Amino acid sequence: MKKSIFIIQLGLLLILSSCFKDKANLPKVNTLPVSEVTWAYAIAGGEVIDDGGSTVTSRGICATTDENVIPTINDNIHCWNTTKGNGLGSFTDTINAKWFGMINRHTKTHTIRAYATNKAGTAYGEVLTFVPKGLPPSSGSIGVSIETVMATSVNVKYWIASTPPYLVDERGICYGTSSNPTNEGNHILVDWFSENYRTMLIENLTPSTTYYVRGYTKNESGIDYSPEVSFTTTEGEITDISGNKYQIKTIGTQIWITKNLETTKFNDGSDIPLIQDDLLWSSTSTSASCKYTDFGKLYNYYTVVDSRKLCPTGWHVPTDEDWKTLETFLGMSQSQADATGLRGTDEGGKLKYKGISIYDGWYFPNTGATNSSGFTALGAGYRSDNGAFNNDSKSANFWTSSEFDATSAWTRLLNYDNAQIIRLNIKKGYGFSVRCVKDQ
C-alpha cells in the first residue's frame, strides 16, 4: 500500500515538474540607440537579453509618428513594424523614407521601441524618439530668369526641379540693388505650384536702377540660393489711349518707346479700322490697321499722318530726319544717313533685340544683333499693299511720317541677315510697324 502511494506521489511530482518546465516567461529586450539619422533613413535596433525560457521566434522594431501612440506590433493603423531574425542577441534594422511618412512631413518626431516574441507573448524595450534630418532644400535645382522689365516692376520666372514640394518649407525670390541678395532683405514668397515654374511680379522698384535677383528654397536644414541674375529698370513708361503701356529709353538726344505701337484708337478716342481681309486691305486708301505677329499692330501710312494723331500726347511718329538723328548717334555718317538702301555698318544691330529664334522675335542668325541702344526692334514683318503678310521674324519695318511723293513715304527696315539699316520709300498702302519719339 505504502509502495503504491509512493509511486502515485512520484508520478504527480513528475507531472508537476514537467508543467513548470514547459511554462515560459516573456522575453527581455532592450531598445538600442538610433544611429545614422538622415533625411532618408535611420538605423535602429535592439538586443534580446533573455528568451524567457522559450525560443524567440520574432524580433524587430515598431515605430510611429503619432505623438499620442506608444508603438506596438498589433497597431497597423498608427505604427510600422520590421522583423529582423529570431533568437537571442542584438540586431539592427533600417527605417527608410517610407517609414518617415513623407506625405505627413518627414520631420515629425518618431517614437520607436524594440520588441521580441516567444510563445508566452511579446515584450517591448524602452521607448526612444528621434527626428529625421531634413533634406537639403535644393536637392534638385532652382533658378530664376528675367522676363518683362518695366520702370517700376519686373516679371521674374522662378523654377524648381527634382525637389518634392513637401520637402521645402519656403520658396521665394529675393532682390536688391547689391549683389547676392538674401531672403533677409527684400523678397517675395512663391506659393506651391504644380508646374515646373511660376512667373512672379516684383513691384515698387526705382526707374533706371540695376537690381540683382536670386531664387531660394528653405527648410529646417537651411537655405539654398539659385545663381544670380540682374536687370536694369527702364527710365519710365507711357500709356496709349487704348491702355497699352510702353517703356521708354533715351538714345542720344531723343527718347523713344521700346516696343511697337499697338493702339486700336486714335488719340481722340475714335477707332482705327482693323482690316484682316486681303481684298479690303488692298482697296483701302484711308486709315487702317491689322494684326500679323505678337509684336504690335501694323498700320498703313494713312494712319500715320491722320489728323486724329496715332501716338500719345507729347509724342509723335518720327520723321525721316528723326531717324537720321538716331542713326548718326549710333555711328552712321551724315552722308550714309542721307543715302538710300543698305547704309552704315552695325547700326541696325544696335537696334535689334538679341534673339535667335522665332520665339525670341528674330529668325537665325539675327546678324550683328546687340540691342546696345535699348531700342529692342523685333521681327514683326510687314503687309504688302495687296494684303499679303510677309517676313515674320525676318524683318522689322518702320514708317516715318515723311512723305516721299503722292504714293509713297520714307521707311526704315532691319533684316535678320545683316546689321545695317535700310532706308527706302514704300507705297502708302503697305502695313508697317510704328515707333513713337518724344516731342522736343
Q: What share of the chain is helix, strand, coil (3-state, %, to 5)?
A: 15, 40, 50
Residue-averaged pLDDT of the chain: 89
Torsion of CA 399, 405, 407, 410, to 10 degrees: -20
Looking at the structure, tell me whether residues 159 and 289 fall in a common domain.
no
Q: What is the secondary structure of 55-92 as a DSSP string? A: ---EEEEEEE--TT----TT-TTTEEE-----SSEEEE
C-beta separation of 386 from 398 below 8 A: no
Query: What pLDDT, in 10s, does the model give residues 98-140?
Result: 554 543 445 577 889 999 999 999 999 999 988 877 666 654 5
Pick from 323, 289, 325: nearest CA to 423: 323
Residue 187 half-sphere exposure toward CB, CA atoms < 13 A: 20
Residue 158 lies in a domain: yes
> Distance between CA atoms of 101 and 120, rounded to whole angstroms?
33
- Indicate whether 13 belongs to any domain: no
Instruction: Give the tens place of pLDDT for each residue, 177-230.
Output: 999 999 999 999 998 765 668 899 999 999 999 999 999 988 777 788 999 999
Residue 73 · residue 112 · CB < 8 Å: no
pLDDT at 141: 76
The model's pLDDT over 375-391, given as tens digits with 9 standing for 90+, comes to 999 999 999 999 999 99
Residue burial 281-304, b: 16+ Cβ < 10 Å; e: rest: beebeebbbbbbbebbbbbbbebb
CATH number of the CATH domain containing 228: 2.60.40.10
Q: Which three cell numbers stand for residue 207?
A: 526707374
pLDDT bracket for residue 23 (50, 70, 90): confident
CA atoms within 13 A on the CB side of 372: 13
Task: Give the distance, in angstroms, between the CA of residue 152 and the centroid of all CA atoms in the same chain.
Answer: 21
**Which among 9-13, 234-238, 278-282 has the top mean pLDDT?**
278-282
Domain residues for 329?
A: 237-438
Q: Which of 69, 99, 130 is the last residue of a domain?
A: 130
Q: What is the pLDDT of residue 138?
A: 58
The residue ranges of DSSP E strands in 186-232, in sequence order, are 187-189, 197-202, 210-219, 222-225, 229-232
Pair 190, 170 in one domain: yes
The per-residue pLDDT for 165 is 56
Q: What is the pLDDT of residues 297-333, one digit of tens each?
A: 999 999 999 999 999 999 999 999 999 999 999 999 9
Gap between the terminal Cα atoms of the chain: 142
What CATH number did the domain enclosing 37 receive? 2.60.40.2060
